Every structure is written in structure tokens, then in C-alpha cells.
């Protein structure tokens, strides 16, 4: 009788879904963005669980690479990061509200004051508790978060402002940095130059990943690379210079034969034009492989002709029919039968299928695919020595 030692099986090797994250590539991408930042210091944006890739592993990698300024969206993210980035400044982009002081003070987090209401509250906190570092976010045309430009300039000129009410950083955010041709970038730059001049002697930051590519005028003292660290496209219409970071794969559950004229998946929206072989894989929209990536049955297909492609046995294969919650169907008819089998893995995105190409097929951006990764992926992290 044959016995099996199940403890010898690596879960990654048999997982229905798996995700490979190249930490060495993340570190290299940060070094590349730091170089592009010129005289400015490069921080790192690790919000949304480091864009879905794991704030602990990514945070440690970036801290060891030299990052000392991190940006998160929520205080809880900052508290997690603090345990493995002990000497870093950690900025919380959503700011602070009453009752949230303990998590900031206990974890040495820097609130980014992002509205008039937060500004009024924070002045009261400083009056009661004394000096504590904070950043001031100024709206220069985004109409999202930020203290209005004229209010910020008035605050800078207010000679009655308490000495403790002096930010360690003033910042803003470009809304069209991914479009270098947009004249709005220059408008925001000129507005932010007024802010930086008004807060002379205080560090200033305008650019995330896209802004860094706009050149030295946009760099100021501190840059905030985000998506570029994770291998995503930061600028539209140009070749992506960043190293790929993440590979998502789904295992083939079954390969089935189907006849010409038969339909595929929900709604029967895809009709086969030939005798076909179909690979059903264990990934669906519950895993962040969006329904909008489907090969048919969506209004989007009238605008973007093709759905997503996967990669298996050295070839690209198209998604056909609608993607379902847990499964996706690929047409593998053109792959010789002896080269593909149930149990093989289809690359959903990675080295062979660029993340942003998949995103475009779904009418979205790489950010959404990364941050929408589900919980069912078995993960493997590769470091510089892997």
C-alpha cells in the first residue's frame, strides 16, 4: 500500500490560485524611482496593504532598501508598518479625527491634515498636548482632499499662528500626472510653488509616481512613488520602464472538448466557431479577476474588442464567455494536446501578460487589479537572493 507524506508537499506547488511577489523587483523599482527623483528624497506609498501585495513583506523590503518616509491611507496601516519600520516617518493620508489621537501618538504616526475641519481640530490638539509633527495637504485643483489654496497661504502668513502649529511637510497631489501633455499639470505646479514659497524652510512634496516622470520641476523635496514600485504603468502611452513584480496564476481544473456551434458560460453569449478545447481555471471575479475581463456578454466589448488573455504552454490564450465567481474559461484549442493538461497553471498576469494590458481589457487600471486581489491566492515572496 502506498503512503503519502503530506507534510512534504509545498502548498504553493498545488494551490488552486497562486501569487508570486518579487520583492527584489520592488526594491529595484524603488531605487530606480529614487534615481529619477534627482535631488529629492524618495518615499514610498504602501497603502491598501501595499497595493494588495502585503504591507509587512513589502514594508520590510522597502525599509531595508533605504525608505524612511512612508505613506499609508489609514492609521491602522501605519500602526502595522511601525513594528518593522522603527525609524521611519509614517504619514497617514486620510488625516485625523477626534478620538483617533491614541493610535497616532502610540505609534508615532504623522497625520496629514486634509480639510478645514481637521485643521480646526488639530489646532486644538496642539494647544492642549503641545508640539507634534503633522503634514498639511493643500488642494491645488484636484477637488478631492486638501485645505483650499488661499486658506493655506493665509495660514502661512498668519503672524499670530502658534509656534507649535508648523507642519513638517506641505504636500499636494496631481490629478493628471499620468498625462504629460495636460496643461493642468503646469497649473497645479504653479499653485504648489506658491505654497512651497509661503512655507519656506518646510519640506514640500507634490509628485507621486506619475509626477516623478514629469521631471525635476515637479520633484521638490520629497517624492511619493506608489504604483511604479509594484510594476504598474504610471504614465499613459509610453513604454513602462519598471520591472514586473507580481505574477498571478490559476490552476486548470478541467480541459473539455466542445463542438462547433455550442455556447460557453452564462447567458450563452459566446458561440464556438470551430471544434474547440476549453480550459476551465480556478479564478473568477471573487479573486479580483474582474467580470469585465470576459470575452463576451458585456457592453464593454463594443468599445474594447477583446477580453483578457492568459498564458500557458508558451502561448497566449483568450478568455471566452463570461467570467464567473470562481472560474474562467480559456480557449486552448491551438495548443497541442500533449503540451497542456489539467493541473497546469495559466498565468493571469505577470512576465508574459502585463498587468496593465489585462486592466485595459477590463476597462480599468492596474491599480484596481492589484488592490482587488482576493484572499484565496497562496503567496510566495522572492527576495533579492531568490
- Residue ranges of alpha helices (H) inside the chain are 11-14, 23-36, 47-51, 55-65, 75-82, 101-107, 116-129, 149-157, 183-198, 209-213, 355-361, 366-371
Query: Rounded to an integer, what distance in angstroms lies between the CA atom of residue 26 and that of residue 225?
Result: 11
CB atoms within 10 A of CB 342: 12
The pLDDT of residue 127 is 86
Whole-number pLDDT of residue 210: 98
Let me know whether 194 and 343 are in one domain: no
121 within some domain: yes
Tens digits of per-residue pLDDT, 203-216? 999 999 999 999 99
Cα–Cα dist 276/318, whole Å: 12
| Pair (372, 225) in one structural domain | no
Total number of domains in the chain: 2
Q: Is 377 tagged catalytic?
A: no
Identify whether residues 93 and 56 lie together within a single domain.
yes
Q: Which three cell numbers stand for residue 282?
A: 480556478
For the segment 50-71, the average pLDDT, to the nearest whole number, is 98
- In the numeric block, which cell numbers belong to residue 49? 496593504
Residue 353 in any domain: the answer is: yes
| Residues 104, 131 share a domain | yes
Give DSSP secondary structure letters for 243-311: PP-EEEEEEEEEEEEE-TT-EESGGG-EE-SS-EEEEEES--GGGT--GGG-SSSSGGGGTS----EEE
Segment 358-385, tens digit of pLDDT: 999 999 999 999 999 989 999 999 986 5
Of 230, 257, 279, which residue constitutes the final position of a domain?
230
Q: Which residue has the cell 504604483?
A: 227
The answer to whether position 272 is within a domain reads: yes
Whether 386 has a pLDDT exceeding 60, the answer reads: no
One domain, residues 162 and 267: no
Domain at 335, CATH number: 2.40.37.10
Asked if pLDDT for residue 2 goes beyond 70, the answer is no
In a domain, 30, yes or no: no
Question: Does residue 7 fall inside a structural domain?
Answer: no
Q: Could you report the per-residue pLDDT of 8-43, keeping only the tens digit for each? A: 889 999 999 999 999 999 999 999 999 999 999 999
* Residue 299 CB partners (closer than 8 Å, separation 6+): none
Same structural domain for residues 197 and 278? Answer: no
Q: How far apart are CA 114 and CA 121, in angstroms?
A: 11
Residues 273 and 205 in one domain: no
Q: 207 and 66, same structural domain?
A: yes
Q: Which of 199, 151, 149 is nearest to 172 (CA)?
A: 149
State the number of CA atoms in the 13 A half-sphere of 73 facing the CB. Answer: 9
Contacts of 351 (CB under 8 A, 6+ apart): 244, 247
Of 201, 230, 259, which residue constitutes the final position of a domain?
A: 230
Please pick, among 47, 218, 230, 285, the residue that the annotation labels catalytic: 47
| Confidence at 129, pLDDT banded by 50, 70, 90 | confident
What spatial distance separates the first Cα and last Cα of the chain, rounded to whole Å? 38
Answer yes or no: is pLDDT of 1 > 60: no
For the chain, percent of residues with pLDDT exceeding 70: 97
Contact 221, 36 (CB under 8 A): no
The boundaries of the domain holding residue 296 are 246-382
Q: Alpha-carbon distance 69 to 179, whole Å?
A: 26
**Are residues 172 and 292 both part of a single domain?**
no
CA 66 from chain centre, in angstroms, equals 20
CATH number, domain containing residue 75: 3.20.20.10
Examine residue 78 and state whether it is found in any structural domain, yes or no: yes
Within 13 Å and on the Cβ side, how many CA atoms surround 134?
A: 25
Rounded to an integer, the average pLDDT of 225-233 is 98
Look at residue 70 and give its three-state secondary structure: strand
Give the three cell numbers for residue 243: 520591472
| 145/289 same-domain check | no
Q: What is the DSSP string of 322-343?
A: ---SS-EEEE-TTS-GGG--TT
Query: 3-class DSSP state for residue 69?
Result: strand
In a shared domain, residues 223 and 256 = no
Q: Is residue 15 part of a domain?
A: no
Q: HSE, CB side, 13 Å, CA atoms: give it for residue 144.
A: 8
pLDDT averaged over every residue in the chain: 95
Q: Is 367 an active-site residue?
A: no
Which of 132, 230, 266, 367 is the catalytic position? 266
With a cut of 80, say whether residue 304 has pLDDT above it. Answer: no
Q: Tell me if 367 sits within 8 A of 358, measured CB to CB.
A: no
**Confidence at 181, pLDDT banded by 50, 70, 90:** very high
| Burial per residue of 229-266, b for 16 or more beta-carbon CB atoms within 10 angstroms, e otherwise | bbbbbbbeeeebebbbbbbbbbbbeebeebeeeeebbe
Residues 78 and 148 in one domain: yes
Do the domain assignments include residue 13?
no
Amino acid at each position: 500500500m502506498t503512503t503519502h507524506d503530506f507534510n512534504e508537499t509545498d502548498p504553493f506547488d498545488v494551490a488552486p490560485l497562486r501569487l508570486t511577489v518579487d520583492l527584489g523587483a520592488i526594491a529595484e523599482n524603488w531605487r530606480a524611482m529614487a534615481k529619477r527623483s534627482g535631488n529629492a528624497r524618495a518615499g514610498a506609498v504602501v497603502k491598501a496593504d501595499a497595493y494588495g501585495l502585503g504591507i509587512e513583506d513589502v514594508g520590510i523590503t522597502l525599509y531595508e532598501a533605504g525608505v524612511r518616509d512612508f505613506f499609508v491611507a489609514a492609521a491602522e496601516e501605519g500602526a502595522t508598518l511601525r513594528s518593522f519600520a522603527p525609524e521611519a516617518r509614517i504619514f497617514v493620508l486620510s488625516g485625523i479625527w477626534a478620538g483617533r489621537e491614541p493610535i497616532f501618538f502610540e505609534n508615532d504616526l504623522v497625520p496629514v491634515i486634509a480639510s478645514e475641519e481637521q485643521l480646526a481640530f488639530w489646532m486644538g490638539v496642539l494647544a492642549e498636548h503641545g508640539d507634534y509633527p503633522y503634514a498639511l495637504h493643500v488642494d491645488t485643483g484636484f477637488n478631492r482632499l486638501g485645505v483650499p489654496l488661499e486658506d493655506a497661504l493665509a495660514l502661512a502668513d498668519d503672524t499670530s499662528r502658534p509656534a507649535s502649529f508648523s507642519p513638517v511637510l506641505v504636500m499636494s497631489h496631481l490629478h493628471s500626472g499620468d498625462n504629460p501633455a495636460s496643461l493642468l499639470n503646469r497649473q497645479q505646479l504653479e499653485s504648489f510653488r506658491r505654497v512651497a514659497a509661503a512655507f519656506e524652510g518646510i519640506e514640500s512634496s507634490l509628485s507621486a509616481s506619475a509626477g516623478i516622470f514629469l521631471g525635476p520641476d515637479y520633484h521638490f523635496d520629497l517624492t511619493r512613488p506608489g504604483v511604479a514600485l509594484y510594476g504598474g504603468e504610471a504614465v499613459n502611452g509610453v513604454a513602462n520602464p519598471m520591472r514586473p513584480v507580481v505574477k498571478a496564476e490559476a490552476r486548470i481544473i478541467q480541459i473539455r472538448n466542445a463542438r462547433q456551434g455550442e455556447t460557453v458560460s452564462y447567458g450563452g453569449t459566446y458561440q464556438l466557431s470551430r471544434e474547440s478545447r476549453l480550459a476551465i481555471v480556478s479564478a473568477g471575479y471573487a479573486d479580483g479577476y474582474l467580470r469585465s475581463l470576459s470575452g463576451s456578454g458585456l457592453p464593454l466589448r463594443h468599445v474594447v474588442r477583446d477580453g483578457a488573455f492568459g498564458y500557458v504552454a508558451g502561448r497566449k490564450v483568450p478568455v471566452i464567455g463570461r467570467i464567473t465567481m470562481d472560474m474562467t474559461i480559456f480557449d486552448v484549442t491551438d495548443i497541442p494536446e500533449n503540451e497542456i493538461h489539467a493541473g497546469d497553471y495559466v498565468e493571469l498576469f505577470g512576465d508574459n501578460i502585463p498587468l496593465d494590458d489585462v486592466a485595459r481589457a477590463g476597462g480599468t487600471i492596474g491599480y484596481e487589479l492589484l488592490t482587488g486581489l482576493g484572499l484565496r491566492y497562496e503567496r510566495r515572496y522572492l527576495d533579492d537572493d531568490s
